[in-house]
Structure 1
Amino acid sequence: MDTTSTDTECPYRQRLASATWVGFDLDDTLHEFRNASSAASNSVIRTISEQYAMPTQLLQQKYAVILREKTSHAFADDRSSHDYRKEGFLALLESVEIAADDEFIQGLLVTYERSLAASLKLKDGALGLLQRLKSLGKKVVVITEGPQDAQEWTVTQLGIAPCVDYLATTNQFRSTKTTGLFSHVLKHLGVAPDDIVYIGDNLDRDIVPAVDEGILCIYLADTPTVRTGEGVFRASSLAEDEQLLQNWPVV
């Protein structure tokens, strides 16, 4: 059962307040990634549907399967976002027996990026929280799974690059969150686990592996019934930024 702790009941409160670094996941933690990527993918699918008279529902079903397969290793190699997207679009076209020329593929890449840029939106409270942390002298690291170039582009497009001291990706460290990314980032930055707090929205890929490294975590979760463990705080949104360093509810 979730409870709200007083200072004397919460042994982690001082650690939360004194941490030098605050880490964030990027996609669906700092911005509405699912919405933006869905809008971009749908733009591509509509383009294919109109060009080749293919049912959009069929294309959506095929592409959903492809995305699950292509992202299973969370971009832990040195390819760019264009490489991943091109591979995905080619796989989609192949799955419905369409042989498109390179010009059409390049057009799909442009369509996707333009739609993605137009759909990017910060989570409520994200900018205020980042600015407050910087005003308190905290250092901010974004630890995220994805191609380095795409995540750098996203941080810039969202307007939060000035608040981010370091951006770490699976693409850069050749490791996913579940296969050692947090350990690699801490070593690279020279940061001890007890000097960082990490905020993420995915229990399995953010919270569990970070806690395993000894990092205190804040789990963004709308579902209060999800159970976590020791060293994990719960927040319903980043808009609760005034509670980051005090009175955060313990799980």
Structure 2
Amino acid sequence: MGMAGKLEAVRTYRGRLAAASWVGFDLDDTLHEFRSASSTASKTVFVTISGRHGIPTTQLQDQYTVILRELTSHAFSDGRTSHDYRRERFVALLEAFSVPVESEFIQDLLALYESSLKASLRLKTGAANLLQKLISLGKKIVVVTEGPQDAQEWTIANLSIAPYIDYLVTTNKFGATKTTGLFSLVLKHLNIDSNEIVFIGDNLKRDIEPATEEGILCIYLAENEGSWTGDGPFWVKELAEIETLLETRGRVER
């Protein structure tokens, strides 16, 4: 796509953003640095287990990666709480190394993980400004995320962005994943057409592609990709770039 085509695409996205009544966001690694925070929290757990049972942290981390892959394939759509999921993973981790599972130790690991996660939470650069800008333009904001309802409510509260969010959609609450119809359910629940919302996410397979299949215009947060060529979904490398697409309008009271 040439420069003229890219400029036309920018005009299209600017127009759709201006017209949209809703803007949707993925949560983890779109609005906040989830991978970094969860990695830090997990490492505190590994260090604690290692100190008590002498298992190298590298082995614990490798096994935990396998456990995550096996136990999160349903994308948290079966209705359990975050503590249920974490307890299941920690028990599986200990059992993988033939370590006796002690209820009190598991509770200690759960508390340690949550306290470390809370201390590590960080908004993405530009997230707060973008949310404030959207609010000033009268947009409604929906977060569509794969995760336990309680954990995502906790995350939004601890990131101090709850006042900006009009509705939180989780796979846990709706009983569907992003790749098995969640975006369709979102449109029905909000009682809107696909052209009334623009969605922003960081994962092509689980955010951009399924939302696009429902006719939703998407913006791909591609922090680690090259520059946008003009093909496929509109790419930005940081959330601040989306502000440049927003037309200046008068402030609208909510």
- For Structure 1 versus Structure 2, the TM-score category normalised by the shorter chain is over 0.9
The aligned amino acid for 1:85 is R
The answer on whether the counterparts of 2:10 and 2:245 sit within 8 Å (CA) in structure 1 is no
Residue 227 of structure 1 deviates from its aligned partner by 7.7
Task: Tell me how far 1:243 sits from its aligned partner.
Answer: 1.4
Superposition RMSD in Å: 2.0
Equivalence for 1:25: 26
Q: TM-score, normalised by structure 1?
A: 0.93
* Distance in 2 (alpha carbons) for counterparts of 1:57 and 1:199: 34
- 1:95-117 deviation line (CA, Å, top 9, x unaligned): 00001210000000000000000
| CA distance in 2 between partners of 1:151 and 1:2 (Å) | 41
The residue type equivalent to 1:41 in the other structure is: S
Deviations 1:176-227 (CA, angstroms, capped at 9, x unpaired)? 0000000001101101100000000000100000000000001011313788
Equivalence for 1:179: 180
Q: Is the 8 A contact 1:22 1:196 kept in 2?
A: yes
Counterpart of 1:80, as a letter, is: T
Moved over 6 A (4+): 225-228
CA distance in 2, matches of 1:2, 1:39: 43
Matched, 1:5 2:6: yes
Cα displacement string for residues 114-168 of structure 1 (whole angstroms, at most 9, x for unaligned residues)? 0000000000000000001001100000000000000000000000000000000
- Residue identity (%): 61
Aligned residue number for residue 56 of structure 1: 57
Distance 1:31 1:177 in 2: 19
Report the secondary structure of 1:6's partner residue.
helix
Unaligned runs of 5+ in 2: 248-254
Aligned mates of 2:85, 2:135 — CA distance in 1: 34
Contact 1:7 1:13 in 2 (8 A): no
1:244: how far off? Answer: 3.2
Q: Distance in 1 between matches of 2:211 and 2:72?
A: 20
> What's 1:224 paired with?
226
Report the residue type matching 2:125 in the other structure: D
Q: Number of aligned residue pairs: give it.
A: 246
Letter aligned with residue 189 of structure 2? H
Deviations 1:64-107 (A, max 9, x none): 10011111110011100000000000000000000121000000
What is residue 204 of structure 2 aligned with on the other side?
203
Moved more, 233-242 or 15-24: 233-242
Please tell me whether the aligned partners of residues 76 and 174 of structure 1 are also in contact (alpha carbons under 8 angstroms): yes
In 1, the alpha carbon distance for the partners of 2:121 and 2:16 equals: 33
Retained in 2: the 8 A contact 1:16–1:245?
Answer: yes
Q: Structure 1: how far apart are the matches of 2:97 and 2:231?
A: 45
Decide whether aligned partners of structure 1 residues 103 and 2 sit closer, same or farther in structure 2, where only a CA change above 3 A counts.
Answer: farther
Relative to the length of structure 2, the TM-score reads 0.92
Q: Does the CA-based 8 Å contact 2:228-2:236 persist in structure 1?
A: no
- 2:67 is aligned to 66
What's the CA shift string for 1:11-51, capped at 9, x where partnerless?
Answer: 44322211000000000000000000000100111110001
Q: Distance in 1 between matches of 2:35 and 2:2?
A: 28
Deviation at 1:233, TM superposition (A): 1.4
Q: In 1, Cα distance between the equivalents of 2:205 and 2:241?
A: 23
Q: Distance in 2 between matches of 1:83 and 1:217?
A: 33
Q: Is the 8 A contact 1:128 1:241 kept in 2?
A: no
Alignment partner, residue 252 of structure 2: none
Q: CA 1:228/1:176 → structure 2, altered by over 3 Å: closer, same or farther?
A: farther
Give, in angstroms, the shift of residue 234 of structure 1: 1.2
Q: 1:235 to 1:86 in 2, by over 3 A?
A: same
One-letter amino acid of the structure 1 residue matched with residue 23 of structure 2:
V
Stretches of structure 1 lacking an aligned partner (at least 5 in a row)? 247-251
